[in-house]
Structure 1
Amino acid sequence: HGEPSSLLWGHCEPNDDCFLFILGADVNTQTCDGVTALHEASKNGHTEIAALLLTKNADANKPTSSGLLPLHIAAQYGHDKIVSLLVSVTSRAMLRHSWISPLHLAAEHNRHTVAAVLLKTGADVNATLPHSHSIKYADRRTTALYFAIANGSTETAEALLNAGASLSLDPVSPLLMAVRQGCVSTVSLLLERGANVNASIPTCTTTFPALVALCQNNLPLLKCLLDNGCDALSCFTCAYGKSFSKR
């Protein structure tokens, strides 16, 4: 008991390995939250220690109590070199059964270099969150692309689109999120890739890109939408009819 060992927390120096392993430290020891030394090294960006742990048979497929593998942690914290180390030793089956993919976490935290590594090594660009977790978000987001756009990362969004990310897997159009964010560069990117300039929320037909931009008084964004053929007349048309507007 007492203080956690430096090995458990992934804080040891690489030249400490002989001392630690002579003492018989178990590289796969887990805390009550399921965290291992490899999780901690992945979180803190200790590439040499992560590599050392792997040579000592650290298990890259031990999840935390929240279901995250070391690869998830490295992706979340933006450590692309550790991600490269872990990809080949992480079970694809374990990743498929996780509630979120490392690519989602990279997109959510604007880690575009990590996203590039994951995509290059075969990550599914169109993997979606399970319904049980998607419903925790008001917009029911499901894709890494939507996560990237919601967090203002045009660079990550472009990498995902270049890898074949679909624009039609989320209940709410990624374009609507980009418009809500007020990001002209992301909106332009999505329109170039075929996003529907007049996309609306099925349950709220009065929410569409041009109207959102108009309500924000974002004239550069509105001009971008108009230049790409949005239906400007809809901004001045009541979807509920004249009788509703007279009440």
Structure 2
Amino acid sequence: MKRMVEEDPQCVNARDGAGYRALQWAALNNRVAAATLLLDSGSEVDAGDNEGQTAMHWACVRGALPCAELLLRRGANLNAADSRGYVPLHVAAQYGHTGMIYHFKMRWNVDVDVTDLDGRTALHWASYKGFPDPVKLLICMDADIYRADKEGCTPLHWSAMKGKSEATHLLVQAGGSSVLTAVDVDGNTPEALATDKGHHSLAYFLHNQHKQLSTRDHFWTQKGMAVACLSLILGLMLGFTHYVMFASGVATMDVSLAFWSLVVLGSSSAGLYYMRRVSNADPGFVTAAALSSLRRGTRPSSAANDVDDRLNHSELWAGNWNQLCVSCKLVKPFGTKHCSMRDKCVARFDHYCPWMGNTIGKRNHRDFVVFLILESFAMVVAFAVAVVRYGEESPGEKYRNNTGILMFAAFDALTLLPVIMLTISQLVQVAQNVTTNELSNAHRYSYLKSSDGAFVNPFDRGSHLANIRAFFFPSKNAPLIDDIAAGLTTVTVDRTV
């Protein structure tokens, strides 16, 4: 090739029979050495083919990032549009090259909302093709999720029309009710287009999401089962008082039983106090502002100076797009998960508890476990007292009625069984310093896997006792983001090309 260039210097800009140039072929196949030779020999970096596509467009077809970076350093125009208005970013989105999109934004601060001749952005194309990672990244880059093209279609219209479920889920999570009710020029919502194209399961999902989002913030949706839980506990306390402590026809309690009965009522009352704390607490909501002091990763020397620091993160430079949250638009620390019911990311997310009407996370997990312990203890003691009372002799045996005691004992036992199982499960997890979410979804989290794929818990402090002590007796100024979780993502980033 070098000899050919020396013999005919003009060949570097010559077209083949189809109108393509040598630099385009080098870019398509990521031939950095060949592209360097062509550019050094006078090849025009922004020269287009018959459709106006440049070497940069071709590099984006196969995600040839090293060659694309070479072209950019040699002055390639990232905003060069072909005959259909496609810029390189559109092509990268059309072919699902998430890393290239990230590179263009972080190194060259590309405009993610630039449109083609039909008014479509990179997010439209990623949604149309159904690539979840580009969709996720573009949303977190603040791409306009509500922007309509010339047909009035938003990105959600296109993903619903093509039956792309993953992209649809992400767009709904990020856009909420507004994106679900958007209509195109013909008055069609995304749900209507999904139905029209035969994607009935996707249309059903969109319909249900619209219903759920419209009632998600209502009091009874958030706290309805918490009210039921409160009523259940109060009902057990009243039943214990009426049917066991002051049972009709049964002898007056002795001092010992009276003491344990008061313990039952005291433990139940303390449990209600902790229930209130759990229900009303901030479970550990994570925001971009809260993460600003926990910057991880090193800004590459050639990164654009005015890019969003939220995205300048080692996990993203490493291509771990699963750490992105499209609702909160942040990079989730390890152990953090987005709660769909509260629509916020929660540090050390354990689960959403409808009986508490709140998410269980870093800030209220201890109170939740204490609540379980207190109520389990109260129900065990109450059952024991009921059994003793049932067997007591009564001076007025013919007036004795044990039905109330039996009913209370049966109801107490039925309630106790699931509660004590949950309590034991939570205590085992506390001893291991692992959450319910991590145990249930360990296969999704790379930080819970060793090099050979076996489960490993990086949050384990070395012993059950150390884990229990740290859980029940945290330091007064304990950070929102677990120190171990912060340490997991501390790496040195070297992204020079």
Scaled by the length of structure 2, the TM-score of the pair is 0.35
- 1:100 correspondence with 2:100: no
- Equivalent residues in 2 for 1:78-97, closer than 5 Å: 78-87=96-105, 88-91=108-111, 94-95=114-115
Identity of aligned residues (%): 25
3-state SS in 2 of match to 1:177: helix
Match of 2:53 in 1: 35
3-state SS in 2 of match to 1:164: helix
Q: Is the 8 Å Cα contact of residues 160 and 168 (structure 2) preserved in structure 1?
A: yes
Match of 1:190 in 2: 206
Matched to 1:8, the amino acid is Q
Q: CA deviation at 1:23?
A: 0.6
Q: Give the distance between the partners of 1:81 and 1:98, measured in 2 at CA.
A: 25
Structure 1 window deviating more from structure 2 (184-193 vs 25-34): it is 184-193
Q: Is the 8 Å Cα contact of residues 175 and 187 (structure 1) preserved in structure 2?
A: yes
Q: Is the 8 Å Cα contact of residues 8 and 29 (structure 1) preserved in structure 2?
A: no
Structure 1 window deviating more from structure 2 (55-64 vs 170-179): it is 170-179
Structure 1 window deviating more from structure 2 (26-35 vs 151-160): it is 26-35
> How many equivalent residue pairs?
187
Matched to 2:148, the amino acid is T
Match of 2:67 in 1: 49
Q: Is the 8 Å Cα contact of residues 104 and 143 (structure 1) preserved in structure 2?
A: yes
Matched to 1:34, the amino acid is G
Q: Give the distance between the partners of 1:76 and 1:184, measured in 2 at CA.
A: 25
When residues 79 and 179 of structure 1 are mapped into structure 2, their CA distance, relative to the original with a 3 A threshold, is same
Structure 1 window deviating more from structure 2 (164-173 vs 177-186): it is 177-186
Q: Give the distance between the partners of 1:169 and 1:98, measured in 2 at CA.
A: 18
| Cα deviation 1:44-82 (Å, max 9, x = unaligned) | 221221122112221000111111111011111111111
More relative contact order, 1 or 2 (CA 8 Å, 6+ apart): 2
Q: Is the 8 Å Cα contact of residues 175 and 195 (structure 1) preserved in structure 2?
A: no
Q: Is the 8 Å Cα contact of residues 89 and 112 (structure 2) preserved in structure 1?
A: no
Within the candidate set 112, 135, 146, 2:132 is matched to: 112
Q: CA deviation at 1:125?
A: 0.6
Match of 1:199 in 2: none
Q: Give the distance between the partners of 2:50 and 2:15, measured in 1 at CA.
A: 14
Matched to 1:51, the amino acid is E
Within the candidate set 32, 39, 49, 1:14 is matched to: 32
Match of 1:219 in 2: none
Matched to 1:125, the amino acid is I
Match of 1:124 in 2: 144
Larger Rg: 2
Q: Give the distance between the partners of 1:169 and 1:117, measured in 2 at CA.
A: 22
Q: CA deviation at 1:150?
A: 0.9
Q: CA deviation at 1:174?
A: 1.8
| Cα deviation 1:156-189 (Å, max 9, x = unaligned) | 0111111115112212122223334454542343
- 1:159 correspondence with 2:170: yes
Q: Give the distance between the partners of 2:55 and 2:113, measured in 1 at CA.
A: 22
Where do 5+ consecutive residues of structure 1 fail to align?
135-140, 197-247
Q: CA deviation at 1:129?
A: 0.8
Q: CA deviation at 1:93?
A: 7.3
Q: Give the distance between the partners of 1:50 and 1:5, measured in 2 at CA.
A: 16
Q: Give the distance between the partners of 1:150 and 1:83, measured in 2 at CA.
A: 24
- Equivalent residues in 2 for 1:150-229, closer than 5 Å: 150-164=161-175, 166-170=179-183, 171-183=187-199, 185-194=201-210
Q: CA deviation at 1:109?
A: 1.1
